[in-house]
Amino acid sequence: MTKKLANKSAILLPLVFVLVAGLAFVGVWLFSQLFIKPGEVTYDASLTDSEKSFLTNIFTEDTKLKNDVTISAVTKNSPPGDDDDGLIYDILVPIADFYYPGNDIDGASFNTENTDGIPTSTNPDIRLISLSDLTPDHKLLALDGNYFLDTLDSGAYYRVFNLDSKDQTEARELITPHLQVRPTDDTVLSFAQTGVIALSRAMAAKLSQVGDASYFAANIKDFLSSKDYTHTSNEASFSDSATSENICSKPEMLSALTAIGLDVVELTGNHNQDCGDEDAIKTIDIYKDNDIQVFGGGKNAAEAAEPAIIDAKNTKITLLGYNLSTGGYTTDNTPGANFYTTEKAKTDIESAKNNGDFVIVDVQFYECSEYDTASENTACDAPVAGQTELFHEIADLGADIVIGTSAHQPQIYELYHDKPIYYGLGNLFFDQSWWPGTTRSLVLTHYFINGKYTQTRISPTVYDGNFQPTLMDEETSRWFLARLGQSHR
């Protein structure tokens, strides 16, 4: 062979090899397309119509799978673990009407043997809905004591897809982007609002006996401090002049507030100046030194009008507080509460809404005092004269939730134009133990998922002569909430 022919062979042989390999690849591909059947999707009878519709919108005629896959569904009372192959299609939470008095439902009351696989309750007032459909006009219930928006992994049922395939990876990758994102601690914000407190008078005498003010918070601190943010309306300033006779708090009472994880204090009350302006100003400094936001009152009228802002977990809340009561407000350079006018509220609410904030308005209004030491007196359950009209006005101005924070006895609540209004929260920390009504309070925990207001949970509390508020048991809570909501059922 000549040198020239050898050189040509060295060039042509690789080219021929590449050409043959390419033709072989194309041949194999054509064979696979023409003669090898693509994977099929089989829908098990356990799927509901909506679940099957969801899947058929993913696995269309144009979808080519390498492997057959059979998709089934099962209802579980816990989410699949890391080692489980299941995919969560839906989270089903137990709900009732907004005014339903119960807070908890027994899981044993659900029938899980239905043909469609979705549990149903034996109680006609209770049903399961998708978490994505949960709105504030529903009442989310705890399931066997587990409240889903607190636990995020219990208190619900889970519809789970199971994939049976030689290799389920491709099917999982197609389904997963269409599933709803499960809420996590990073996306759910909880904000607890509590009633009136005044760590004073008989509580001051009790402090002398127990020595540590965190004593008062012993039965409620774990519940309140577990929330992302906790609020209260304090009517008693800290003062060295505090006695068992005045509405002022000994400085060491601060530990009762830090024990509940207090983040925001409202100063709309009419007693914050009872021990003088100087102590009222010092008290505000104490709050700020302990990273506790202040709103609804201040060192002067301008400061008193400033809102508190909660900005976390994709949620932004503006808290506005006003006083329209028997006194305690300021209109000048002296300390006091933020005086209410319609024009002021309109401007404040519009400003917050223009920022895209969720707006909660708290109001110190006139109080009912028709209490009874011997029996249950429901006279103070209802709003006092003019209160309903004022609170409706504030809601009409754009507030998302309106709350009365002056009542020493819890009052009724309602949905007004789809906006929750709570007319009075009662006493959280107080010494009024001689009237049954004033020993109770409502703790409101607002929940937001990725900035969307989803739910308010009402948790009633009660205290006795030991001044240690505790959560009511389910039976007592149900009786009390039925009483407050009965006019709407």
- Same domain? For 135 and 213 the reply is no
Contact 359, 353 (CB under 8 A): yes
Is residue 7 situated within a structural domain? no
- Same domain? For 205 and 129 the reply is no
pLDDT of residue 28: 46
Is residue 316 situated within a structural domain? yes
| Per-residue tokens: 253 | 């009472």
Bridge partners (DSSP) listed for residue 442:
460
pLDDT digits (tens, 9 = 90+) for 4-62: 445 555 555 555 455 555 555 555 454 455 445 689 999 999 999 999 999 999 999 99
Contact 262, 292 (CB under 8 A): yes
* pLDDT value at 140 more than 70: yes
- Same domain? For 200 and 161 the reply is no
Q: Angle of helix 387-396 relative to helix 342-354, nearest 10 degrees?
A: 30
| φ/ψ bin of 74: left (φ > 0), alpha (ψ from -120 to 50), beta (otherwise) | beta
Query: 178, 203, 227: which is the final residue of a domain?
Result: 178
Q: In angstroms, rounded to a whole number, what is the distance separating the alpha carbons of residues 183 and 20? A: 55
pLDDT of residue 105: 95
- Same domain? For 384 and 465 the reply is yes
Q: Residue 472 maps to which CATH number?
A: 3.60.21.10
pLDDT digits (tens, 9 = 90+) for 64-73: 999 999 999 9
Is residue 20 situated within a structural domain? no
* pLDDT value at 84 more than 80: no
- Same domain? For 359 and 412 the reply is yes
- Same domain? For 149 and 269 the reply is no
pLDDT of residue 162: 95
User: How much is the mean pLDDT over the chain?
Assistant: 92
- Same domain? For 193 and 168 the reply is no
Is residue 3 situated within a structural domain? no
- Same domain? For 170 and 209 the reply is no
Residues 6 or more apart whose Cβ sits within 8 Å of residue 484: 381, 410, 411, 412, 413
- Same domain? For 437 and 412 the reply is yes
Is residue 422 situated within a structural domain? yes
3-state secondary structure of 471: strand
Which of 142, 149, 164, 147 shows the shortest CA–CA distance to 87? 164
Domain count, the chain: 2
Domain that residue 398 falls in:
188-488
- Same domain? For 312 and 342 the reply is yes
Is residue 113 situated within a structural domain? yes
pLDDT digits (tens, 9 = 90+) for 279-311: 999 999 999 999 999 999 999 999 999 999 999
Q: In angstroms, rounded to a whole number, what is the distance separating the alpha carbons of residues 489 and 486? A: 5
Query: 146, 178, 210: which is the final residue of a domain?
Result: 178
Is residue 52 situated within a structural domain? yes
Handedness of CA 60, 61, 67, 68 (dihedral sign): positive
| Per-residue tokens: 3 | 């040198």
Cβ-based burial of 464 (10 A; exposed 0-12, middle 13-18, buried ≥19): exposed
- Same domain? For 241 and 104 the reply is no
pLDDT digits (tens, 9 = 90+) for 150-199: 999 999 999 999 999 999 999 999 999 999 899 999 999 999 999 999 99
| Per-residue tokens: 307 | 């809102």
Nearest 5°: the CA angle 378, 473, 183 is 110
pLDDT of residue 215: 98
3-state secondary structure of 188: strand
Handedness of CA 423, 428, 431, 436 (dihedral sign): positive
pLDDT of residue 5: 46
Query: 126, 152, 178: which is the final residue of a domain?
Result: 178
Residues 6 or more apart whose Cβ sits within 8 Å of residue 437: 371, 372, 376, 377, 380, 408, 409, 410, 426
The helix, strand and coil proportions of the chain, stated in percent and rounded to the nearest 5, come to 30, 30, 40
pLDDT of residue 17: 56
Bridge partners (DSSP) listed for residue 161:
73, 87
pLDDT digits (tens, 9 = 90+) for 398-441: 999 999 999 999 999 999 999 999 999 999 999 999 999 999 99
Is residue 14 situated within a structural domain? no
Q: Which of 55-59, 111-115, 273-277 has the lowest mean pLDDT?
A: 111-115
Task: State the chain's maximal CA–CA distance in angstroms.
Answer: 125
- Same domain? For 430 and 340 the reply is yes
pLDDT of residue 21: 56
Q: pTM for this one? A: 0.91
pLDDT of residue 11: 55
* pLDDT value at 121 more than 80: yes
**Strand pairing category for 315-323 and 308-312:** antiparallel
Which of 189, 270, 192 shows the shortest CA–CA distance to 224? 192
Residues 6 or more apart whose Cβ sits within 8 Å of residue 411: 368, 380, 381, 382, 383, 404, 422, 423, 424, 426, 484
